[in-house]
Amino acid sequence: DGGITQSPKYLFRKEGQNVTLSCEQNLNHDAMYWYRQDPGQGLRLIYYSQIVNDFQKGDIAEGYSVSREKKESFPLTVTSAQKNPTAFYLCASSINGGNYGYTFGSGTRLTVV
Amino acid sequence: AQTVTQSQPEMSVQEAETVTLSCTYDTSESDYYLFWYKQPPSRQMILVIRQEAYKQQNATENRFSVNFQKAAKSFSLKISDSQLGDAAMYFCAYPPGGGADGLTFGKGTHLIIQP
């Protein structure tokens, strides 16, 4: 079955460390997105990519980095510069600009310890 | 900037009753789409229903329907015959510029189903 796989489901990070969240899709979608979800805040866009080797900052990109070397993969790195990284992270993909909606992964819960 | 507003942080409904969740949005575009997503306790985001702004007819998917008022920029979700499995967070979403640059989400409504 086609879908989006996010791993790991739970991730713990020590302060000052970088950590990378994985997102893989086999839907042949061109566009991929990373969202952050905090209680009472809805979903906020971190980064997005419409094509391989190209990506753009979203509303809250500071402290994060991404790469898009393959169509299927869009990993997100949470750097030590991110002041409050504890959150739930969702990866999504879309076809044809997103007018048919986005398909989401099951998310990664990141906790700083 | 486009915004999406959900004014009800939490709603409660008796099982088998009908409930309506509100959403308003701000846009200067004339042709666009609108979405309602459901996020159950598993936290998987599930597309519930999609509305095309140029269509007069309100979208319907089984027990879920929308009341789309384009002039008022209102997009409410009606859930009929509520079931325990409908308990979840519900998010209204709008794709500025067609959605290639990301969906804008409301802050969500937590729906509680009373047995």
CB contact under 8 A, A104 and B9: no
Q: What's the mean pLDDT in B30-38?
A: 92
Top pLDDT among A101 and A94 is at A94
Q: Looking at the complex, does the CB of residue A27 fall below 8 Å from at least one CB of chain B?
A: no
Which of A41, A45, A98 minimises the CB distance to B98? A98
Is the confidence at residue A1, as pLDDT, over 80?
no
Tell me the pLDDT band of B1, cut-offs 50, 70 and 90: low
pLDDT at B61: 93
Cis bond leading into A85, ω under 30°? no
DSSP state of A70: B
Query: Worst-scoring range by mean pLDDT, A11-15, A89-93, B7-11, B63-67?
Result: A11-15
Sign of the C-alpha dihedral computed for residues B40, B102, B94 and B52 taken in this order:
negative
Tell me the pLDDT band of A96, cut-offs 50, 70 and 90: low
Percentage of chain B lying above the pLDDT 90 cut:
78
**Under a CB-based contact definition with an 8 Å cutoff, are residues A15 and A102 in contact?**
no
Which of A42, A50, A56 minimises the CB distance to B105? A42
- Cβ–Cβ pairs < 8 A, chains A and B: 59
CA-based nearest distance A91→chain B, Å: 10
- Of A6, A3, A14, the C-alpha closest to A112 is A14
- Residue pLDDT, tens place only, A30-86: 999 999 999 888 899 999 999 999 999 999 999 999 999 999 999 999 999 898 999
**Rounded alpha-carbon distances, angstroms, from residue B99 to A17, A26, A63, A110, B31:** 33, 20, 24, 27, 12
DSSP assignment string, chain B = --EEE---SEEEEETTS-EEE--EEE---SS-EEEEEEE-TT---EEEEEEETT-SSPPEETTEEEEEETTTTEEEEEE-S--GGG-EEEEEEE-GGGTTT--EE---EEEEEE-
Tell me the pLDDT band of B19, cut-offs 50, 70 and 90: very high
**Which candidate in B43, B51, B66, B110 is best for mutational testing of the A interface (most A CBs within 10 A)?**
B43
- Residue pLDDT, tens place only, A14-43: 988 999 999 999 999 999 999 999 988 889
Top pLDDT among B108 and B95 is at B108
CB contact under 8 A, B108 and A88: no
pLDDT at B70: 93
Q: Is B11 exposed, middle or buried (0-12, 13-18, 19+ CB in 10 A)?
A: middle
Partners of A35 in beta bridges: A45, A90
Contacts of B54 (CB under 8 A, 6+ apart): B30, B31
Chain A residues within an 8 Å CB radius of B103? 33, 43, 45, 92, 98, 102
